[in-house]
Chain A
């Protein structure tokens, strides 16, 4: 309850700061926000697009949040997502199976790919105490350049040299009934994968022994060891799961939202995942809500630009401000605590 208040305050402050920025640059903030919301929700197609935009964010946010809960700072969601998406794409392009078999296989490949990419930093942390922030960032670049080499070498597109071949419709998460329901939106099965993952992770963290152990290691490594929890195993396992979830984000992005994988780009959703996790207070349901909010911002932004004179750069800045407030929600907590302390101190003085 406290956490959700904090997050809502962060959003409110962010929106207020964005409004001030719009006013300072001579734009009407009410109009701006009105079109922002309309752009994300005006018709079924836009709602579908908002959900689709949010899908990878749900998963990367969940990946970062899960790692946070177990005491690890996973900055490598971008790389894990890229590898996960790459593995799924590779399976989709190489195997010719019926859809009912191919899709689960692709999702599995994506999960395993992302998971293995995160296990390396996990192992280095557990065994040699190498800080995961450094090693996951390095893994991002290894992923970037690996994909950069492998895609043109083995999965090169016909017309464009910087993308893989297009996935056949059979190997994509898009469903025509779903697109029709949302009037031509690019929403796809990835959204259901994301929601399902949120539920599974929430259950895992809150209701199982394994989740308890992983969290315990996050709270205090030495105490957990003393309590008989296999600390090294827990760290590696945490990273495995976190990486796997990020890998699923790659599956959703590259085989659902997009139909091919591009080289030379680290997916921005990987880094946005950190902000999503912070705003969602590292709770699975919080992550779901905050990812949907980010999806709305990203999805509605273009319509706001098109309908008003607010330049795209200002829209980006507004989003950045909201992220900033979300990321510094800990400051808000301190502020509240300080105000409370002062009030009680004042009360005492008056007494």
Chain B
């Protein structure tokens, strides 16, 4: 009997404690958001984002897009929000777009080709909303369907092959003599273009800059997913065991596994490297305090793309109806600004190549041609 009373009292106490701290929290919260609202009276639209497969901190597509949105929101005082769909079907995506729209978020950014069909329908249904589709063009999904970009939508692509090309040149110049490998996620156009560009870059350096970096057929692999971290580690281990010196991993979470494998090898004194993708992955490869196993990264400036579109909307010149390809010329792709692992000499040579791509002196093909895979 006594025991029961005591447990009841303690339960009641803990509940009131929880309730107490809950109410104090809820008390402060509205005032916080209120002050944010006071600073920013001019904003007349809210920015929403729906994430693709994976989390918001995927160190890749979702994160890059969201960072651009956050930065723009801070600079221009906009409200922003992201929603994570429950699955990867068109219905899941459409549902979240509707949720954002109903909640008043009428500038919606969606990263990834998987949104193509959902945006195709949304742009007709919500004509007073604006859509930014990164890495895809809205289409009906039917066989042979032509992309349709309506007045309230912008479709953004990147010249991944140019970014991969620069990474290939940098890798060849740094390693000089040895082997390179490539790990891809799914065998989809953006990843393929990274691969083909990388191979062309290595070949370019071998032919024009006196390096001898070899890519063997068995060291060009598409893992088949973007989230199998363990498989990424295994593939990297296999390649390093085969004598590969530098791996270019364009594979999301699979690449994270590869970087982890590279780190553990570098810690044991092996002289191997890895190249990151999409965003500057230098910090992911840090070991022993300040050294990083990430040589450089083949960057797509996704954050800048999202930022620029929000800015354009604010300035009243949203490029609706257009399909934009961001390439070296528009500084939409390239290597990170800081590359602590590359020497001055290598960097200046890479810069030279970058300028040649810009000027059109060097052209990088987006097609496979006679390249591997």
On whether the two chains bind one another, the answer is yes
Residues of A participating in the B interface, judged by any CB pair closer than 8 Å: 20, 23-28, 39, 45, 49, 52-53, 148, 158-162, 165-166, 184, 186, 257-260, 262, 264-265, 268, 298-299, 301-303, 305-307, 309, 312-313, 316, 342, 346, 349
Contact bitstring B128-156, A, C-beta under 8 A = 1, else 0: 00000000000101111100000000000
A312 with B84: CB separation less than 8 A: yes
Residue pairs across A and B with Cβ atoms less than 8 A apart, 18 shown, are: A24-B18, A24-B21, A26-B26, A28-B26, A159-B113, A160-B188, A162-B186, A166-B143, A184-B125, A302-B83, A302-B96, A302-B99, A303-B102, A303-B103, A306-B81, A307-B103, A313-B84, A349-B1
Interface residue tally for chain B (C-beta within 8 Å): 48
A306 with B105: CB separation less than 8 A: yes
Using A159-B145, A342-B4 as known contacts, say yes or no to A305 and B113 having CB atoms under 8 A apart.
no
A39 with B99: CB separation less than 8 A: yes
B212: interface (CB < 8 Å): no
The answer, among A20, A52, A258, A307, for a CB contact under 8 Å with B90, is A258
User: Please, how many angstroms separate the alpha-carbon atoms of A268 and B53 in the complex?
Assistant: 13
Extra contacts besides A24-B25, A159-B116, A302-B96 (15): CB < 8 Å: A23-B22, A24-B18, A27-B26, A53-B86, A159-B113, A159-B145, A160-B113, A161-B186, A259-B90, A264-B224, A298-B86, A301-B86, A302-B83, A303-B103, A309-B29
A299 neighbours in B (Cβ, 8 Å)? 95
B102 neighbours in A (Cβ, 8 Å)? 303, 306
A158 with B22: CB separation less than 8 A: no
The 10 closest A-B pairs by CB, nearest first: A23-B22, A306-B103, A26-B25, A258-B89, A302-B99, A312-B84, A306-B99, A186-B91, A166-B141, A303-B99
Contact bitstring B55-88, A, C-beta under 8 A = 1, else 0: 0000000000000000000000000011111111
User: A182: shortest Cβ distance to chain B, in Å?
Assistant: 13
B48: interface (CB < 8 Å): yes
B225 neighbours in A (Cβ, 8 Å)? 264
A28 neighbours in B (Cβ, 8 Å)? 26
User: B71: shortest Cβ distance to chain A, in Å?
Assistant: 19
B100: interface (CB < 8 Å): yes
A162 neighbours in B (Cβ, 8 Å)? 186, 188
A49 with B99: CB separation less than 8 A: no
B91 with A158: CB separation less than 8 A: no
B28: interface (CB < 8 Å): yes
A302 with B142: CB separation less than 8 A: no
User: Please, how many angstroms separate the alpha-carbon atoms of A270 and B142 in the complex?
Assistant: 28
User: A153: shortest Cβ distance to chain B, in Å?
Assistant: 13
User: B4: shortest Cβ distance to chain A, in Å?
Assistant: 7
User: A230: shortest Cβ distance to chain B, in Å?
Assistant: 40
Q: Which residue of B lies closest to A350 (CB)?
A: B1
A257 with B143: CB separation less than 8 A: no
A346 with B84: CB separation less than 8 A: no
A346 neighbours in B (Cβ, 8 Å)? 1, 4
B18 with A23: CB separation less than 8 A: yes
Q: Which residue of B lies closest to A38 (CB)?
A: B102
B268: interface (CB < 8 Å): no
B113 neighbours in A (Cβ, 8 Å)? 159-160
A257 with B224: CB separation less than 8 A: no
B186 neighbours in A (Cβ, 8 Å)? 161-162, 264
B224 with A268: CB separation less than 8 A: no
A23 with B81: CB separation less than 8 A: no
User: Please, how many angstroms separate the alpha-carbon atoms of A193 and B144 in the complex?
Assistant: 32
B224 neighbours in A (Cβ, 8 Å)? 148, 264
User: B250: shortest Cβ distance to chain A, in Å?
Assistant: 15
B10: interface (CB < 8 Å): no
> Which of B87, B90, B96 is the most central at the interface, judged by chain A CB atoms within 10 Å of its CB?
B87
B284: interface (CB < 8 Å): no
B26 with A20: CB separation less than 8 A: no
User: B361: shortest Cβ distance to chain A, in Å?
Assistant: 33
User: B143: shortest Cβ distance to chain A, in Å?
Assistant: 5
User: B112: shortest Cβ distance to chain A, in Å?
Assistant: 11
B33: interface (CB < 8 Å): yes
User: Please, how many angstroms separate the alpha-carbon atoms of A264 and B225 in the complex?
Assistant: 6
User: B66: shortest Cβ distance to chain A, in Å?
Assistant: 12
B89 with A312: CB separation less than 8 A: no
B95 with A27: CB separation less than 8 A: no
User: B344: shortest Cβ distance to chain A, in Å?
Assistant: 41
A305 with B81: CB separation less than 8 A: yes
B89 neighbours in A (Cβ, 8 Å)? 257-258, 262
A259 with B26: CB separation less than 8 A: no
User: A195: shortest Cβ distance to chain B, in Å?
Assistant: 20
B19: interface (CB < 8 Å): yes
Q: Which residue of A lies closest to B3 (CB)?
A: A342
User: Please, how many angstroms separate the alpha-carbon atoms of A25 and B85 in the complex?
Assistant: 22
A20 with B100: CB separation less than 8 A: no
B48 with A306: CB separation less than 8 A: yes
A158 neighbours in B (Cβ, 8 Å)? 143-145
A23 neighbours in B (Cβ, 8 Å)? 18-19, 21-23, 25-26
User: Please, how many angstroms separate the alpha-carbon atoms of A302 and B23 in the complex?
Assistant: 24
A165 with B143: CB separation less than 8 A: yes
